Chain A
């Protein structure tokens, strides 16, 4: 991690939150945890362009937890909304109709369903056009708002509302899809690792162009665990190597917190109701081993 960060240790993190409380999110929402931490660094000089998902219910008339601005669009087109806002701000700046201090960071905020699937075409095009925006995806690995059905981000073996025997497919690699577009920046973060997260937001804000912040969002409601365990689930996602913390810059991917030694994936899986069928009534050694092998393969390749 570069020396220019103002976040050297935990004590450097903001001690009060900028994002208001009392929202409609569930207790223990890992997406909201990450958003709090992101917003503290990002600040209120921003406009959040949102896609349909749990977080759409952050701003419910006449309340909003944001100190800055907000625009809800649709499930598929938040990146296009960001394009319109950015283009308009640029036009106003160029014409002298908007003083530079009135300019805003344009932020897209969507779930995985939008980011990996319905909105991927709009995202790909926005990156290709070089849109100057920050894309925050809170990845709860399913269509959470509609009751946690399988999405393109659902991991292998997880039970969802549409895969009661466990998902047979494998999670799509959105980070790699972004990297293939050669964006200005892409990083994975998790609320349970706030220092790593803060440094990445800090870095992203210094850059211009398309930037991804992909936050794994432990979801007590959809994943089936007690709200108080969100941080523990998040830590284990990183420690087990299931969720690699990394960043992409200038064509290179760097792991910012490679776990060693790695905890067995079963420690991570066992905490969550969506994987309970892998342990009870009979242990499904084959599936657990498959998941472990996939994680091992990833880290071998990551060198």
Chain B
């Protein structure tokens, strides 16, 4: 649980900052998605944008957590002895 929080929470904070920066500078209505102008409302664009930012940041946190695992953790996984 604590690990999940330590992935989701910092990425939430950073996603908030990224969202703020991105959408102050860029009007979602002027974006193109896969070659088509964005057709959904601004509210939807902001919300989807935030969730995407969050997901991306969470992926980065997840990678950090994954790489932070100690040698002992990894060895246990492959069945090596602890000593």
The answer to whether A and B assemble together is no
